[in-house]
Structure 1
Amino acid sequence: MPITTCIFDAYGTLFDVAAAARQAAGEPEFPHLQDNWAELANHWRLKQLQYTWLRAITNAHTDFWEVTQDGLDWAMESAGLAGDRALRQRLLDLYWELQPYPEVPAMLETLKHAGMNIAILSNGSPAMLDGAVQSAGLGDVLDDVLSVESVGIFKPDARVYDLVGKRFGCESKEVLFVSSNGWDAAGASGYGFVTAWVNRADEPVDRMPWKPSHILPDLTAIPHLVES
């Protein structure tokens, strides 16, 4: 069955989640971040994801912005930066302006010209996603931005993946779901999507019951994957 619909995770897939800490580290106000920004960014992202999973399995949902702040607070305390309120605010402000990875605009334009349905499916809140999409200038190439807030639970719950078929009226095998998160790609594979795991860090495949259909180093080959 041919692919008709390309669905992308947002954070870490289209948008560089390390960009906030990296940019802040280059600003003169935060010289103390220059040596440990990468560790801070990694801890922030890991806790952000862990909190979504914990909230999903304990039925304690909140929006992704609160989870993002909670993850940052943990990461800053771990790095000995808990008292730096100016840095905390700057990092949170930058998170609303995350830049896309370099190949993203051209890749999405190619899919658009090929007649694909194109959308984001993300844990992000609608306001966060709107800020990221507008900041990156991607609004014209996306048919929709789908947020888990409409179902009140985080990925990889099947109710989140259900949003794609409801929006586009397509079967699961018509969907190419693309994520930089191995667990997300695995969950989407189990759901029935064709999946591509964007493994930028060359990490091992997660030990899950399901595997991604494709593993790519970046998003450049997505249009070719759809054609083939």
Structure 2
Amino acid sequence: MPITTCVFDAYGTLFDVAAAARQAAKEPKFIDLKNSWPALAEYWRLKQLQYTWLRAITSSHTDFWQVTKESLDWALEKTGHAGKPEMRKRLLALYWELQPYPEVSDMLGRLKKAGLKTTILSNGSPKMLESAVKSAGIQDILDGCLSVESVKVFKPDPKVYNLVNKEFGCSTTEVLFVSSNGWDVAGAAGYGFNTVWVNRANEPVDRLPWTPQKVLPNLKDIPKLAGIYD
């Protein structure tokens, strides 16, 4: 069955999660981040994911903004920046306007032009996603922006992936699911979606029961995988 709906994870897939720390490190006020921002960004993201998994399996849901703040606090302490409220405030503000990867707009535009449905499916809260999409200027080339908040559990719970079927009335075989997170791709594959892992860091494939059907270094060839050859 041909692909009718392309579904994208947001953070790390469309939006660069390291951008907040990288941008803050360029600002004179936060010169302390000059050498430590890569570690800060990595720890921030790691704890962000770990906290969502733990909350999902313990039925202790909170929204992604709370998780983002808590994981940043851990990362700041880990990298020696605890007790710096202005730095914390700036990093959190920058997270609301993360930079998209350079190929995102063109790729989504090609899908839209070909008549395919495009949507985000994310752990992010609705307000966070709205801000990120608007900041990236891609609001007019997305048909949807689905948040886990409607089911109150984080990925990779199957209820999250089922939001796509409910919203677009499509079968699982009509969906191309794209994520930079191997565990997210595994969850989507287990649910029944066609999957693409965007492996920007050239990492090994996760040892899980489900593996990605395709692996790409970036998003440029997503239209081809969706059957578009313009």
Q: Do they superpose with TM above 0.5?
A: yes
CA distance in 2, matches of 1:43, 1:206: 19
Distance 1:103 1:144 in 2: 19
Residue 202 of structure 1 aligns to a residue whose secondary structure is coil
**Corresponding residue number in structure 2 for 1:142:** 142
1:203 matched to which residue of 2?
A: 203
Q: How does 1:63-102 map to 2 (within 5 A)?
A: 63-102=63-102
Q: Residue 190 of structure 2 corresponds to which residue in structure 1?
A: 190
Query: What one-letter code is carried by the residue in structure 2 that aligns with 1:186?
Result: A
Measure, in 2, the Cα distance between the counterparts of 1:213 and 1:90: 39
CA distance in 2, matches of 1:108, 1:45: 25
User: 2:135 and 2:109 mapped to 1: Cα distance?
Assistant: 17
Say whether residues 1:155 and 2:191 are aligned partners.
no
Runs of 4+ in 1 over 6 A off after TM superposition: none
Cα distance per residue 1:90-114 (max 9 Å; x no partner): 0000000101000000000000001
Letter of the structure 1 residue corresponding to residue 54 of structure 2: L
**Cross-structure match for 1:224:** 224
The DSSP-based 3-state class of the residue aligned with 1:29 is: helix
Name 1:215's counterpart in structure 2. Answer: 215
Match of 2:43 in 1: 43
Q: How far apart are 1:202 and its partner, in Å?
A: 0.3
Partners of 1:103 and 1:148 in 2: how far apart?
26
- Give the gaps of 5 or more residues in structure 2: none
- What residue number does 1:114 align with? 114
SS in 2 for 1:7: strand
Matched with 1:34 is 34
Distance in 2 of aligned mates of 1:89 and 1:213? 40
- Name the TM-score, length of structure 2 as normaliser: 0.98
Deviation at 1:80, TM superposition (A): 1.0
Give, as a single letter, the amino acid of the residue that structure 2 aligns with 1:226: A
Quote how far apart the aligned CAs of 1:8 are: 0.2
What is the alpha-carbon distance in structure 2 between the residues aligned to residue 221 and residue 36 of structure 1?
33
Taking every aligned residue pair, what percent have the same amino acid on both sides? 68
Residue number in structure 2 paired with 1:14 = 14
Task: State the alpha-carbon separation in 2 of the partners of residues 125 and 20 from structure 1.
Answer: 18
Aligned residue for 1:177, secondary structure, equals strand
Q: Matches of 1:195 and 1:218 in 2, distance apart? A: 14
TM-score, normalised with respect to structure 1 = 0.99
Instruction: Give secondary structure in 1 for the equivalent of 2:29.
Output: coil
For residue 27 of structure 2, what is the amino acid of its counterpart?
A: E
C-alpha deviations, 1:3-57, integer Å up to 9, x for none? 0000000000000000000000000001110001001000000000000000000
Hey, what's the Cα distance between the residues in 1 that align with 2:3 and 2:55?
33
Q: Deviations over 1:117-165 (max 9, x none)?
A: 1000000000000000000011000001000000000000000000000
Aligned length: 228
CA distance in 2, matches of 1:68, 1:214: 30
Instruction: Determine helix, strand or coil for the equivalent of 1:121.
Output: strand
